[in-house]
Structure 1
């Protein structure tokens, strides 16, 4: 073995624990109640995205303007008045559609900005007041945003707000989103029949945006699974990969729906794998499968498979994130 030179012997050893400078503080440990609220909040969705972020006015004008110029060129080349009248009517219709789209997107952006600042109970209260005063009662974007804010404290209030949307008067895709959001609340409250009645009227083919389709699939799939259509639910849910980065925000909701579907389809292996994935993200996600039979803080038992509850309960117990009341319940 080679002897070290004096220079090598005095070389200081870098110790990251003794490095001077600003240290990152350890995160404060959350209480079980805070963890459960955080887990449920993740299942309830995110603030609405800015609708103008993907809308390029110049590109939109080119896409609408070039066809309009072609129509007018043809109309001017054809003798007579009627070709010009037809071209004029088409131009007015296109202009009206563009004006409506930009106006709707601008209103929705204003709603999104209000929601994004509501990160505390007091801020949510102020945001709801703004939505009530600055937007009309029949403004669908404001109604969705208000319900989302109410979900944090009072799901029933959010449900009542969403029920004010007239599904026969709004556009079909928006009506589907209202049904999906109402169905999600009913599922959280274990009102499975009410959720099923809503989701059966959702037409997935009307929606092309992958995230919207995945969100709706999670809600529709869970409702089907918990009301006797588990095989159909599995087929739908397996068309969406929860590990796809595009669905990162929806992963807890997709996995939750899969857990219900696999349980009622008697696929124990896949059910356990799904529960382990949920637990790996946050053990408190498992509390959504534990009923009042096992814990006073549990969910109503309607639509919860006994095998699913048993496995989720045992997994939560082993995780070390078990609320004290549930530990006492197990001992008794």
Structure 2
């Protein structure tokens, strides 16, 4: 029988599973090259505007070029500030691999960023949910979704829904995911994450077929989905269980066990788990010898 691991050891393994694989990461954004390209486009725009203005004896093309230049300059300044903020937050999160490191990172995020900074709030919640999901939920609920840009509001909704699902509060999660518009999410990884969270909420609130149809649009084994793989198979396990698909449940649980056998514990001890899913997970846990039988049967 395998040695029972402490909660901290299990949490560390789960965090390790979620760490990005350096081999799959995209190269860093090259701001200098982008700025050079934009300046080149603007220069060409002014040349064309000057030619039109001279040929047609009108200043309108120059006015249009001026307005576009001001708008682009404003966007570039905003984007540069956002990029610097993301880099600063990323630097803070790098040392948050231990409870002490996470506590220090949370304090720095509170101190170095304004109270209403949504990016800092999201980062804080990511750290807090590893120790205290309720605290992370409260942090996210401090964000006024009506005043945030749509992409940020969507991330907050998805993270709140994910925490509710972890706590067994599927109805609360459902209210949040129903407000997500998956078609408007351009970034592939975020779209996959939103779809996975939404699908689990749908599966656990009576729309398992819709959940499966959505989940099948994304391949958990795709290298680009490595960070989401466990979450994707978890959502599939719930969806198949609510469709009474024994084969699907077994396949999803085996995939999770291949990633880390300790992941099966989420179906054994979690709240409001479908009986079929709980039974299959218990059997697999006992078969793997992870937990003594008498402990599995205690509820």
TM-score w.r.t. length of structure 1: 0.81
Find the partner of 1:174 among 129, 152, 163. 152
Paired residue secondary structure (2:221): coil
| Corresponding position: 1:300 with 2:271 | yes
- Within a 5 Å distance, the mapping from 1:176-191 to structure 2 comes to 176-191=154-169
- Within a 5 Å distance, the mapping from 1:213-252 to structure 2 comes to 213-252=191-230
Paired residue secondary structure (1:312): helix
Could you tell me which residue of structure 2 aligns to residue 111 of structure 1?
89
> In the superposition, relative to structure 1, how do residues 231 and 270 fare at CA in structure 2: closer, same or farther (>3 Å)?
same
Q: Distance in 2 between matches of 1:39 and 1:261?
A: 25
1:118-148: CA deviation from partner (whole Å, max 9, x where unpaired): 1111111111111111111121211111111
TM-aligned CA deviation for residue 251 of structure 1: 0.8
> In the superposition, relative to structure 1, how do residues 328 and 192 fare at CA in structure 2: closer, same or farther (>3 Å)?
closer
On the 8 A contact 2:230/2:256 being kept in 1, the answer is yes
TM-aligned CA deviation for residue 54 of structure 1: 3.1
1:191-217: CA deviation from partner (whole Å, max 9, x where unpaired): 101100001111112222222122112
| Corresponding position: 1:319 with 2:288 | yes
Q: Distance in 2 between matches of 1:39 and 1:120?
A: 12
On the 8 A contact 1:176/1:202 being kept in 2, the answer is yes
Q: Distance in 2 between matches of 1:329 and 1:182?
A: 29
Q: Distance in 2 between matches of 1:166 and 1:52?
A: 32
Q: Distance in 2 between matches of 1:152 and 1:218?
A: 19
* RMSD over equivalenced CA pairs, Å: 2.3
1:136-189: CA deviation from partner (whole Å, max 9, x where unpaired): 112121111111111111111101111122212222111111111000000000
Q: Distance in 2 between matches of 1:75 and 1:200?
A: 47
> In the superposition, relative to structure 1, how do residues 276 and 81 fare at CA in structure 2: closer, same or farther (>3 Å)?
same
Could you tell me which residue of structure 1 aligns to residue 297 of structure 2?
330
On the 8 A contact 1:52/1:106 being kept in 2, the answer is no
Could you tell me which residue of structure 2 aligns to residue 136 of structure 1?
114
TM-aligned CA deviation for residue 52 of structure 1: 11
TM-aligned CA deviation for residue 32 of structure 1: 4.6
Could you tell me which residue of structure 1 aligns to residue 279 of structure 2?
310
Q: Distance in 2 between matches of 1:88 and 1:319?
A: 69
TM-aligned CA deviation for residue 321 of structure 1: 1.3
TM-score w.r.t. length of structure 2: 0.90
| Corresponding position: 1:154 with 2:132 | yes
Could you tell me which residue of structure 2 aligns to residue 9 of structure 1?
none
> In the superposition, relative to structure 1, how do residues 309 and 162 fare at CA in structure 2: closer, same or farther (>3 Å)?
same
On the 8 A contact 1:52/1:105 being kept in 2, the answer is no
On the 8 A contact 1:35/1:284 being kept in 2, the answer is no
On the 8 A contact 1:286/1:312 being kept in 2, the answer is yes
Q: Distance in 1 between matches of 2:229 and 2:162?
A: 15
On the 8 A contact 1:262/1:271 being kept in 2, the answer is yes
| Corresponding position: 1:71 with 2:45 | yes
> In the superposition, relative to structure 1, how do residues 199 and 331 fare at CA in structure 2: closer, same or farther (>3 Å)?
closer
Q: Distance in 1 between matches of 2:112 and 2:263?
A: 36
Moved more, 150-159 or 60-69: 60-69
On the 8 A contact 1:52/1:109 being kept in 2, the answer is no
TM-aligned CA deviation for residue 109 of structure 1: 0.8
Paired residue secondary structure (1:165): coil
5+ residue gaps, structure 1, are 1-28, 291-297
Q: Distance in 2 between matches of 1:147 and 1:61?
A: 33
Paired residue secondary structure (2:147): coil
TM-aligned CA deviation for residue 319 of structure 1: 1.0
